[in-house]
Amino acid sequence: MAEFRNRLSTLLYWIFVWGGGLAVLIYMIGPIILALVMSFNAGSTLAFPPKGFSLRWYQMLLDPAESGPIHTAAWNSIEVALSTVVLVTLITAPAAWALARANRRFAGSVEPVLLAPLVLPSLVYALAALLALSLLGLGPSFIAVLIGHAAVFAPLMFRTVLGLAQRMNPALEEASATLGASRGRTFLKVSLPGILPGILAGAFLVFMQSLDNVSVTLFLGDPGRTMLPLRLFAMLEESLDGRVAAVSGLLILAAALLLVTLQRFGGRSSS
């Protein structure tokens, strides 16, 4: 009897682990696959199941005559995202590199400040930044969005670079200096290649987050310049058509590329 109860309990355990685990796994990835499937839908509505395979929504999305506003919004967003990546790289990479070499107490007291945006809801920051802007007598602008995105997303790159910089052997840089290389040359030839994977992984993360952010973009952006996340948000609320699925398909592809980049370059820093 005890033997039977033991077996039953073990059986239930594996049913729970495998059955439950796989069900949850499908729950996690299912919606993403659904969005992809719907983007190749031939029907005129987003009803499930899709009516055959077609690329019509992608064609419609790429057609400038029909989707002009989406293109403009996408280019505006890409411009902001790329500028954000450049600004974030310029301030973050040197900081992460220096803090990896600074004494522990100093680094320990500064890091929480530099990582704080990761835990603060971006909506709250967006409101705070809007208040600060208006107090200075400034209106929403490209520069405001750029600085806002950089402030909120800089920690993403700070983390990936810091992870690599901490793991680098300082002896390499010392050796380079001892052998007569100048400070700048040592940085370019020894330090930079060491942290470059972290910069790359971080840049990709910052780019994607900037492309996706609604609240900072909404509060700080010039209302005359539509941005992609706001355009998509509006389409979700008003005119849900297949083009949203097609944009989703492209963004999922971008996420998959990001995943591959992270696993290749960022894996060492995040593990």
Partner 1 sequence: MIRKDTLLAWPMIAFMVLFFISPLVLLAGISLHGEDGSWGLGNFAAFLSDPFARGVLTGTLALGAKVTAWVSLAALPLVMLYWHGGKRLRGLILICTLLPMLTANVVRTFAWVVLLGRNGPISQTLLGLGLTERPISFLFSETGLVMALVQIEMPLLLLPVFSVLNRADRKTLEAAEVLGAGRWRAWFSSIFPQIIPAVLAGWVLVFASATTSYVTQSVIGGARLIYLPQFVYREVGVLFQWPMAAAISILLLASTGVIMLGLTMLARHERLQGHG
Q: Which is nearer to partner 1, 89 or 225 (CB)?
A: 89
Least separation in angstroms between CB 65 and partner 1: 24
Applying CB under 8 A, does 59 fall inside the site for partner 1? no
Neighbours of 91 (CB within 10 A): 14
CA dist., res. 44 & res. 179, Å (int): 69
Could you say which residues in the range 92-121 bind partner 1, by CB under 8 A? 92, 94-95, 97-99, 101-102, 106, 110, 113-114, 116-117, 119-121
Applying CB under 8 A, does 19 fall inside the site for partner 1? yes
Least separation in angstroms between CB 108 and partner 1: 13
Q: Which is nearer to partner 1, 175 or 240 (CB)?
A: 240
Q: Which of 54, 141, 166, 215 binds partner 1 (CB under 8 A)?
A: 215
Strand partners, 114: none
Part in contact with partner 1 (CB under 8 A); list of ranges 64-72, 78-86, 152-160, 166-174? 152-160
Least separation in angstroms between CB 157 and partner 1: 10
Q: Which of 86, 143, 175, 236 binds partner 1 (CB under 8 A)?
A: 236
Applying CB under 8 A, does 42 fall inside the site for partner 1? no
SS3 238: coil
Q: Which is nearer to partner 1, 17 or 55 (CB)?
A: 17
CA dist., res. 267 & res. 81, Å (int): 23
Least separation in angstroms between CB 50 and partner 1: 10
Q: Which of 42, 55, 86, 240 binds partner 1 (CB under 8 A)?
A: 240
201, 206, 209, 213 alpha-carbon torsion, rounded to 10°: 180
Could you say which residues in the range 171-200 bind partner 1, by CB under 8 A? none
Identify whether the C-beta of residue 50 lies closer than 8 Å to the C-beta of residue 41. yes
- Give how many residues touch partner 1 by CB under 8 A: 90
SS3 34: helix
CB-count burial class (<10 Å; 0-12, 13-18, 19+) for 199? buried
Neighbours of 54 (CB within 10 A): 14
Alpha helices in the chain (DSSP H): 2-14, 21-39, 56-62, 64-101, 104-115, 122-135, 142-167, 170-178, 183-186, 192-212, 215-220, 228-237, 242-261, 267-270
Q: Which is nearer to partner 1, 65 or 254 (CB)?
A: 254
